Chains A and B, each alone.
Chain A
C-alpha cells in the first residue's frame, strides 16, 4: 500500500490536470491555491495548540448518536484526534 502522501499527490495531479472525471477549470484551481497560500501567510498554523500544551476536553456524538467523551477515552489509553474537514 502506497504512503498516504503519495496517494494524495496522485489525486492532486489528476484533479489539477483539468482532465476527467473532475474537469476542474484552471481558474478554479488557481483560486484554491490562492486560498491555501493566504491561509498559510495568515499564520493560522502557529495559533493552533502545540506539543506540551493541555488538550481541551470534549463530549461529542459519534456516527450512531452515541456520546463519546475525551476524558473517558483517555482513561483507557493515549488518544489520537484527527480533524477532518469533510467533503472539502
Chain B
C-alpha cells in the first residue's frame, strides 16, 4: 500500500528536482516482480542483509514467537531475504538534502503507521524554497 502511495507522489517529487528510492532487504528476484506488478517509476533497491538500514539504526530482530507465526502464514525471511537471523528494518522514510543532511526522519516501530506521502512532499518543497 505504501509503495502505491509513493508512486502517486513520484511525479511531483521529480518535478521538484528530487528523487525517491525504496530500500528493502528482499532479494532482487522479488523486487523485480513487485516493481513490474505495481508499474513503479522509482527504483526498489535491495539492501542485502539490511547493511544500509543498520547504518540508519533501523534494524531489529523478530522475536522467536513471531518467526513461528510468520512461518505459519507461509512467509519466511530466509527465503525472501536470505536472512536466517530474522532481522528487519523498522518502516522509515527519510528526506536527505543535497549536502547529505537528514531533513525529515519518520520512523515508527508500529509497522501499521506510516507518514503521509503529502507530508514528505511538503518537506521537499520547503527545501526547494530555502535554496
Interface positions of A (Cβ within 8 A of B): 1, 3-5, 7-9, 11-12, 28, 31-32, 34-36, 38-40, 42, 44-45, 47-58, 60-65, 68, 70, 73-88
Contact = CB atoms under 8 A, between A and B. Distances in A.
Contact of B23 (A51, A74, A84): A84
Interface residues of B, number: 80
Interface in B55-84: 55-58, 60, 62-63, 65-66, 69-70, 72, 75, 80-81
B114 A4 contact: yes
Contacts of B94: 49, 55, 80-82
A81 to B, nearest CB: 5
B70 A77 contact: no
Contact of B43 (A42, A45, A58, A62): A62
